């Protein structure tokens, strides 16, 4: 902070030399994470803008495409992600309280949920690509009135859920990283910023899915 006196020095091994206090360091790190998350908002925002514009232009085709989404895979995945968010939040809480064992266990459960999500997503992709030939490009097959526009719908589906899945993969990696360090006992009640920041990232990826779910799976009232 600009106006805080520079004198307070807690000799903490985690305090980097260019910060005056650990509090300043923590606040900087958390703020940095939030700034990073708004760049992520804009990153997905570009695709949401495209989605919105084409949905406006080709409303019927979007309904048609949505009927070929698998409602149950999408819904189950939503629940899986929400559960993972809960365990992530609890893991951060345990770290804050200095409960090493429970924080490691909760982080591991979060990883499992994340992998479950990716697994289900993989099965769903397999169905779309191999069984139904719905991947855009020369192999795209679709019987219906809006072939071209439905191909666009699937382009958005694969681009948006694909980037989301990529973020999930990165998220699983990050959670594994902090889980390892939590197991090593690096975090305690006075230093848990990495866990907190990874948690923020994880919740953000969850929020993206919270929007993707209705936009792809629920826009038509006829569900498969």
Partner 1 sequence: MFSNTFPLWPARASSISGPVDALFIFLLMLCGLMCIAIFTAIIVFAVRYRRRPGHEAIPIEGSNAVEFTWTLIPAGVFIIIFVWGAYLYFQERTPPKDSMDVYTVAKQWMWKFQHTEGQREINELHIPIGRDVRVIMTSQDVIHSFYVPAFRIKQDVLPGRYTIAWFRATAAGTYHLFCAEYCGTNHSGMVGDVVVMEPAQYQSWLSGGQAMGSLAQTGQGVFDSLGCSTCHRMDTQGRGPNLMGVYGKPVLLEDGRTVIADENYIRESILNPAVKVVAGFKPIMPTFQGIVSEDQVNALVAYIKSLNPQPVGPAETPTFKGPAASKADTRQR
Partner 2 sequence: MATTAVALSERENYLNKEYGITSWLFTTDHKRIALLYLITITFFFFIGGFFALLIRLELLTPEGDLLLADTYNKMFTMHGQVMVFFFLIPAVPAVLGNFLIPIMIGAKDLAFPRVNLLSWYLLAIGGCLMIYTILSGGVDTGWTFYTPLSTHFLDTHVITAALAIFVAGFSSILTGLNFIVTIHRMRAPGMTWSRLPLFVWANYATSIIQVLGTPVLAISLMLVALERIFNLGIFNPQLGGDPLLFQHLFWFYSHPAVYIMILPGMGVVSEIVTCFSRKRIFGYKFMALAVIAIAVLGFLVWAHHMFVAGISLYAAMVFSLLSYFVAVPSAIKVFNWTATMFKGSISYSTPMLYAFGFIGLFTMGGLTGLFVAALGIDVHVTDTYFVIAHFHYIMVGGMVMAYLGGMHFWWPKISGRMYPEFWGRLAAMIIFIGFNLTFFPQFVLGWLGMPRRYWQYSPEFQVLNVLSTAGATILAVGYLLPMLYFLWSMRYGKAAPENPWNGAGLEWKISSPPVTDNFDETPLVTWEAYNYDELPQEVPVGR
Partner 3 sequence: MSAHIASKKLYVTIWASLIGLTILTAAVSYLELGAFNIVLALVIATAKMLLVALFFMGVKYISEKMTLVVIVAGLFWLMILLILSMTDYISRPWI
Neighbours of 199 (CB within 10 A): 25
Contact region with partner 2 (CB under 8 A), list: 10-18, 72-80, 102-110, 198-206 = 10-18
Nearest distance from C-beta of residue 1 to partner 3, angstroms = 9
DSSP assignment of 70-99 equals -HHHHHHHHHHHHHHHHHHHHHHHHHHTT-
Q: Note whether 52 binds partner 1 by CB under 8 A.
A: no
Q: Note whether 78 binds partner 3 by CB under 8 A.
A: yes
Q: Note whether 2 binds partner 3 by CB under 8 A.
A: no
Which of partner 3, partner 1, partner 2, none interacts with 145 (beta carbon under 5 to 8 A by kind)? partner 1
Q: Note whether 143 binds partner 2 by CB under 8 A.
A: no
Contact region with partner 3 (CB under 8 A), list: 109-117, 127-135, 179-187, 212-220 = 212-220
| Token output for 219 | 């826009």
Q: Note whether 219 binds partner 3 by CB under 8 A.
A: yes
Neighbours of 130 (CB within 10 A): 11
What are phi and psi for residue 191, nearest 5 degrees? -150, 100
Q: How far is 38 from 53, CA to CA, in rounded Å? A: 22
Q: Note whether 149 binds partner 3 by CB under 8 A.
A: no
Nearest distance from C-beta of residue 145 to partner 1, angstroms = 4
Q: How far is 173 from 167, CA to CA, in rounded Å? A: 10
Q: Note whether 40 binds partner 2 by CB under 8 A.
A: yes
Name, in order, each residue with C-beta under 8 angstroms of 146's C-beta and a sequence gap of 6 or more: 58, 60, 61, 64, 65
The DSSP bridge partners found for residue 166 are none
Q: Note whether 34 binds partner 3 by CB under 8 A.
A: yes
* Interaction residues for partner 3, span 150-169 (CB under 8 A): none
Q: Note whether 147 binds partner 1 by CB under 8 A.
A: yes
């Amino acid at each position: 902070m600009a106006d805080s006196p520079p004198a307070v020095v807690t000799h903490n091994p985690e305090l980097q030399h260019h910060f005056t206090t650990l509090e300043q360091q923590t606040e900087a790190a958390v703020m940095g994470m939030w700034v990073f998350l708004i760049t992520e908002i804009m990153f997905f925002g570009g695709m949401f803008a495209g989605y919105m514009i084409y949905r406006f232009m080709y409303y019927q085709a979007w309904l048609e495409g949505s009927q070929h989404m698998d409602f149950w895979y999408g819904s189950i995945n939503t629940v899986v992600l929400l559960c993972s968010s809960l365990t992530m939040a609890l893991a951060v809480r345990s770290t804050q309280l200095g409960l090493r064992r429970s924080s490691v266990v909760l982080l591991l459960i979060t990883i499992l949920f994340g992998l479950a999500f990716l697994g289900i997503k993989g099965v769903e992709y397999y169905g779309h690509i191999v069984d139904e030939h719905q991947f855009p490009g020369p192999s795209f097959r679709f019987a219906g009135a809006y072939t071209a526009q439905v191909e666009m719908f699937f382009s958005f589906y694969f681009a948006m859920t694909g980037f989301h899945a990529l973020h999930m993969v990165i998220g699983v990696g990050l959670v594994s990283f902090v889980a390892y360090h939590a197991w090593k006992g690096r975090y305690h009640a006075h230093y848990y910023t990495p866990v907190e920041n990874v948690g923020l990232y994880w919740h953000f990826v969850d929020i993206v899915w919270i929007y993707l779910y209705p936009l792809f799976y629920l826009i038509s009232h006829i569900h498969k």
